[in-house]
A and B are shown apart, each in its own frame.
Chain A
């Protein structure tokens, strides 16, 4: 169902559902993904990974591996220059501490999680490489591990990084080390910050109901279908070509170049098709390693990792703890909120706790609020971004709490949210003020939906509702459009197509030029063939690359008008461009379709191409509401999702099918996170379920059809009203399911996942209440001056 804005009628292409341009290659299996590249002379590489979650590397002896027949090169961190612990800006949203990145790529001195890369071998085939990996002798001194965020904050916890500094800046995720002169003891707290508006003491004093709850949230893996693969060819002139699937080949280029000490112009990254990323494929893991192996061996080298390696070494999102407290008036107005989030970053700083802190109260207008976040390192793989990073866990807490309060007040949970809804002009606790947003529209659409009104009968069944907010992002983007003689155009852009952005950019070009979507031939070009384009992330590709494509098409349009004016010997201003036809405003004889003029370009002055290069502001925030019906088997604790509806403000839906697909995909991932997905570690930090068999993502048999309602409140910050749609859809499901379970069973779950085992125990014990000590603020005063000031980075939304 699409609830269209009125002005949508003016569009011819936008809002239609053409077949995607890359569809044929993908459904026929011809699309080339990361592992599909095979340069002549290719060698195959395997990684040696740490068997321990925390250990000092005393000695690495590669001599037996090097002597193994068929082995061509071995690398360790000794081959990779040490990087200072400085923060580098690698493109919007991609601030990276090069020192930590370097140590994550190949362990140096210590291994910090099970699966941490220690060394790599290139050989004539993957089997020989695997055998040779087993011949590398590493002497470890095993150290005590810390796996839990709260445990890691204790003063006597084992330290991962002895010199780790505690920052206090929500805008800097990558962390840093203390100054040489700073003699204080390090800690595992990489960052501790507070957002605050109003006066919470005053707010809580005015509240008639105050409820405070504790939640334990769990890590979830992105579960993309394509394990990582990278191929490198080190050329004799010290230039480097890399083929890989990533969400941003430009950031892969910048990171690889920095780690290898090369200028970016010496590194070319060719984007392969990507089999899912969800935020995880935005940093280098394998690329510098295969580059070094190629340099040493003189051959191109490919490394493709398996699913176990993906689970053990390529991070999920954070697990952790959230405390949430709200004060509400008898009428149902939230007048105060206070929350603490402790997110586990894995082995290196950089959990999405800031995202969680910025988003958990996002949907609401709360005058007095305080949100405190802790980024804590533990002996687990460094977390990577995952779809609305940090937001789903925070929303699980806030939206469960709101549901509980609405029940106490005997208010309809949608009415309760409507009463407190953020609107244009509402200031968020993190500072920014909302522009045009459609939360009220989304809530009204939810309330009017047949699902909300349908009676739900039967034992052990319940209906839950929850909301979600995500601020979205953008970044620089480039595009060129060139005209073909047959009346089509080529669109060259730089956003790896992870969710249909090639089609949506092409449709924006077609809309501008009055062409059909299929008359635009889009391609995602390598780093030497298109201008800088920031990573596909923050639900930003259709926004920013769509905008660059729009601008490039506008330029083509102006040039076409000028060319027609030259041919007809009239002024360009006397011409108009409508529906793909250029015509004279007053002389009906002067009329030429785009296609006819396209055929004459070379004879009338030469080819026409337009370019777009943007760094847009004005991303629109995204808000979503989900309704879930569940049935719980009280004997086994198993939850069956009976019916599910996702309602979301999407700005303008360029291609509604892909918008609906994003909403459905986000809901499915959220349901899996809520119910069955779980990282199971031994007390030594060994992941025991590193396969899709035991890391239980839902299958098609576990999920009902996800109904979608596309609510269109155009974003005034974009030429076509686009706002990002890909991430907010994963924010509401965790609490929507939990709230439904509560209504089905009477048990309120505060622990994720709400797996059969956990839910059955909670039903038997009539609750699962989680309590933990709120961390104290010691250590927060340690500022991370050196690293932050070094490059003066500050991020604004």
Chain B
């Protein structure tokens, strides 16, 4: 394993300072479940400094209010998220993903913020957050802050659009509208300890009668260079009746948008097929949740 400096940052300012100083040579660490493995495997040879952000209070915030919604600090480990009564009640789509990342042991360390910044196309944590309209809170040099819709954070496999000296502080998920529901489903050959061959996060809002889609967002995992929001799937849903035909149209749009590769986890053909299956199932699940059944 390569030698590196370890900095336990106590404030956002300190962490941003180290990032600004070292650029590509610095990497943030929360649970370390991705970055330490990458360092051991020699996959991030440029990293000379690891900045541990678990000690920064703001990054450990997990809170909800009806005005701004849910705040998930970038270093909050998965288990806190899926054990939180408010998250369980209002955001079951997030519980879906937080509870299947890695294993129980991994979930004790791994954070959704880390899952986001690691930026793999197969990340389970990302699609339901994008589907729910999550926004990134980003800190930069000179105490600057900016917000960015989560779907705009990704530049390619393992790459984000964060600039030098910037770091993710938290994600904010809007309060769920009335008659809304979300679900994340992934397909893996094993039931745990596995990586998505394909994954689909779906969030929908129904009308008061719960027979028509008001809106919907469908986000795909592991079938594109980045977590892929499929606007066409949402358009296929908005204003349409809740039935198999509408769901089928949205699934077709998702399949058409998917641009997977063939690798050890699946072929192009199989992955596109799975996107259709999972989109239909995730939409059905989201509808069930919206109906409160």
Contact A757 B266 (CB under 8 A): yes
Most buried by A among B192, B193, B263: B193
Known: A130-B1, A688-B263, A755-B189. A693 touches B194 (CB 8 A): yes
On chain A, the residues within 8 Å of B264 by CB distance are 678, 680, 688-689, 694
Instruction: Report the bound CA distance from A338 to B187 in whole Å.
Output: 41
Contact A760 B189 (CB under 8 A): no
Which residues, 241 to 289 on B, are CB-close (under 8 Å) to A?
Answer: 263-267, 269-270, 273-274, 277
On chain A, the residues within 8 Å of B189 by CB distance are 638, 675-676, 696, 755-756
Contact B1 A127 (CB under 8 A): yes
Contact A636 B195 (CB under 8 A): no
How big is the B interface, by class? 20 to 34
Contact A696 B190 (CB under 8 A): yes
Contact B192 A761 (CB under 8 A): no
Contact B273 A760 (CB under 8 A): yes
Residue of B nearest to A675 (CB): B189
On chain A, the residues within 8 Å of B197 by CB distance are 756-757
Which residues, 164 to 196 on B, are CB-close (under 8 Å) to A?
Answer: 187, 189-195
Query: Which residues of A come within 8 Å of B, CB atoms?
Result: 127, 130, 635-636, 638, 675-676, 678, 680, 688-689, 692-694, 696, 698-699, 701-702, 755-757, 760-761, 764
Known: A638-B189, A757-B270. A694 touches B3 (CB 8 A): no
Contact B187 A636 (CB under 8 A): yes
Instruction: Report the bound CA distance from A765 to B74 in whole Å.
Output: 46
Contact A699 B191 (CB under 8 A): yes
Instruction: Report the bound CA distance from A566 to B187 in whole Å.
Output: 76
Known: A699-B191, A701-B192. A757 touches B267 (CB 8 A): yes
- Name the distance in Å between B74's Cβ and chain A's nearest Cβ: 24
Instruction: Report the bound CA distance from A694 to B265 in whole Å.
Output: 7
Contact A701 B190 (CB under 8 A): yes
On chain B, the residues within 8 Å of A638 by CB distance are 187, 189
On chain A, the residues within 8 Å of B274 by CB distance are 636
Known: A688-B264, A694-B264. A702 touches B195 (CB 8 A): no
Known: A688-B264, A694-B264. A702 touches B191 (CB 8 A): yes
User: Which single member of B1, B190, B195, B277 contacts A676 (CB below 8 Å)?
Assistant: B190
Instruction: Report the bound CA distance from A764 to B191 in whole Å.
Output: 23
Contact A760 B263 (CB under 8 A): no
On chain A, the residues within 8 Å of B277 by CB distance are 635-636
On chain B, the residues within 8 Å of A757 by CB distance are 197, 266-267, 270
Query: Which residues of B come within 8 Å of A, CB atoms?
Result: 1, 3, 187, 189-195, 197, 263-267, 269-270, 273-274, 277
User: What 11 additional pairs, Cβ within 8 angstroms, besides A127-B3, A675-B189, A696-B190?
Assistant: A636-B274, A688-B263, A694-B264, A699-B190, A699-B192, A701-B191, A702-B190, A702-B191, A756-B270, A761-B269, A761-B270
Instruction: Report the bound CA distance from A680 to B277 in whole Å.
Output: 25
- Name the distance in Å between A582's Cβ and chain B's nearest Cβ: 56
- Name the distance in Å between A368's Cβ and chain B's nearest Cβ: 41
Instruction: Report the bound CA distance from A689 to B267 in whole Å.
Output: 15
- Name the distance in Å between B119's Cβ and chain A's nearest Cβ: 18
On chain A, the residues within 8 Å of B3 by CB distance are 127
- Name the distance in Å between B107's Cβ and chain A's nearest Cβ: 14
Contact A699 B193 (CB under 8 A): yes
Instruction: Report the bound CA distance from A359 to B266 in whole Å.
Output: 33
> Can you list 19 A-B pairs, Cβ within 8 angstroms, ordered by A?
A636-B274, A636-B277, A675-B189, A676-B189, A680-B263, A689-B264, A692-B193, A696-B190, A699-B190, A699-B191, A699-B192, A699-B193, A701-B191, A755-B189, A756-B187, A757-B197, A757-B266, A757-B270, A761-B270
Contact B269 A698 (CB under 8 A): no
Residue of B nearest to A308 (CB): B41
By Cβ-Cβ distance, the 7 closest A-B pairs, closest first, are A680-B264, A701-B191, A689-B264, A635-B277, A688-B264, A757-B270, A676-B189
On chain A, the residues within 8 Å of B266 by CB distance are 757
- Name the distance in Å between A672's Cβ and chain B's nearest Cβ: 10
